[in-house]
């Protein structure tokens, strides 16, 4: 079936605006992850869901970042009062199992630019 | 805690010559290791993975990697580079198994340039 889908592909926000980034994982995938990739760097973990439960949010950089997955499928990453340092590519990934060694399937990401 | 170090931020090779991307990891348990590739404006694609079976792992597009526990290394190689191999490559460690899910820790990436 289709891969992981993220929208929008690009988002430009003025400093202080709120943004919402959407992720549609592969159908039936239990695990869903959000990563943040700053320019020229590797992705960094933000948060993890197993079905609708957010089991790990240790990577969220501040309380302005909030993620949800209410029905265990689509997930939304919300950033409130955006700052310039939030500019990055936000990657969503899903996998069929939550076990170590299960490969993640990544979406193409949302490139957020805060001006 | 776990970490990954990619020893080269940039690698430049000529088409048809071998490619070597170096990766060292640090982990307090038996890790799962991966290599992902990222082409411009594209999503991350899995090249190969090591999960404690054979130490020499073959992946897609002619890539392979060898897990060396004594050296804590997981270097990626390809005998003959192709122009389409120009991309960013990430060495990744997963786990620990007791943690939630299979959280990945990425290296800083190695950008590969292939010259004609």
Mean pLDDT for chain A overall: 93
Token duo for residue A8: 């929008």
Q: What confidence tier does A21 reach under pLDDT thresholds 50, 70, 90?
A: very high
* CA-based nearest residue in chain B for residue A55: B100
B114 vs A56: CA distance, rounded Å: 39
* CA-based nearest residue in chain B for residue A42: B108
Least confident span in A64-78, B23-37, B92-106: B92-106
Domain count, chain A: 1
Q: Do A43 and B90 touch (CB under 8 A)?
A: yes
Q: Domain for residue A108, yes or no?
A: no
* CA-based nearest residue in chain A for residue B6: A42
Asked if residue B6 has pLDDT above 60, the reply is yes
Question: Which of residues A56 and B78 earns the better pLDDT score?
Answer: B78
Handedness of CA B28, B32, B37, B42 (dihedral sign): negative
Average pLDDT over residues B29-35: 85
* CA-based nearest residue in chain B for residue A39: B108
Token duo for residue A35: 């990563």
Q: B92 to chain A nearest CA, in Å?
A: 10
Is residue B100 within 8 Å of A48, Cβ to Cβ? yes
A31-85 pLDDT, tens digit per residue, is 999 999 999 899 999 999 999 999 999 999 999 999 999 999 999 999 999 999 9
Q: Domain for residue A106, yes or no?
A: no
Q: A98 to chain B nearest CA, in Å?
A: 4
Asked if residue B40 has pLDDT above 90, the reply is no
Q: B90 to chain A nearest CA, in Å?
A: 7
Q: Domain for residue A111, yes or no?
A: no
Q: Which domains does chain B have, with CATH numbers?
A: 3-8+22-106 (2.60.40.10)
User: What residue numbers bound the domain in which A42 lies?
Assistant: 5-98
Is residue A8 within 8 Å of A63, Cβ to Cβ? no
- Residue A88 exposure: Cα atoms within 13 Å on the Cβ side: 22
> Who among A44, A55, A106 is closest to B101 (CB)?
A55
Q: Do B95 and A107 touch (CB under 8 A)?
A: no
Average pLDDT over residues B5-25: 97
Q: Do A108 and B34 touch (CB under 8 A)?
A: no
Q: Domain for residue A109, yes or no?
A: no
User: DSSP labels for A31-99?
Assistant: EEEEEEE-TTS--EEEEEEETTEEEE-TT--STTEEEE-TTSS-EEEEESS--GGG-EEEEEEEES--S
Q: Domain for residue A92, yes or no?
A: yes
User: Quick one: pLDDT at residue B32?
Assistant: 86
Q: Domain for residue A90, yes or no?
A: yes
Q: Domain for residue A29, yes or no?
A: yes
CATH number (domain holding residue A90): 2.60.40.10
Q: Domain for residue A36, yes or no?
A: yes
Mutate to test the interface with B, among A40, A45, A72, A101 (most CBs of B within 10 A): A101
Q: Do A103 and B34 touch (CB under 8 A)?
A: yes
């Amino acid at each position: 079936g289709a891969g992981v889908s993220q929208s929008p592909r690009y988002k430009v926000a003025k400093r202080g605006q709120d943004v919402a980034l959407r992720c549609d994982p592969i159908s039936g995938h239990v695990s869903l992850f959000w990563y943040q990739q700053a320019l020229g760097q590797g992705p960094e973990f933000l948060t993890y869901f197993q079905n609708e439960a957010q089991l790990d949010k240790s990577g969220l950089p501040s309380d302005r970042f909030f993620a949800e997955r209410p029905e265990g499928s689509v997930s939304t990453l919300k950033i409130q009062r955006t700052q310039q340092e939030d500019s990055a590519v936000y990657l969503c990934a899903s996998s069929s199992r939550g076990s170590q060694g299960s490969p993640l399937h990544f979406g193409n990401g949302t490139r957020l630019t805060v001006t | 805690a776990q970490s990954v170090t990619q020893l080269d931020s940039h690698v430049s090779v000529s088409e048809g010559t071998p490619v070597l991307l170096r990766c060292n990891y640090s982990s307090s348990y038996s890790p799962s290791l991966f290599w992902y590739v990222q082409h411009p404006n594209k999503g991350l694609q899995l090249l190969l993975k090591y999960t404690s079976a054979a130490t020499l792992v073959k992946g897609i597009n002619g890539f392979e990697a060898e897990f060396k526990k004594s050296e804590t290394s997981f270097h990626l190689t390809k005998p003959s580079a192709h122009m389409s191999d120009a991309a960013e490559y990430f060495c990744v460690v997963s786990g620990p198994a007791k943690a939630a899910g299979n959280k990945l820790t990425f290296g800083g990436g190695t950008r590969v340039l292939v010259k004609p």
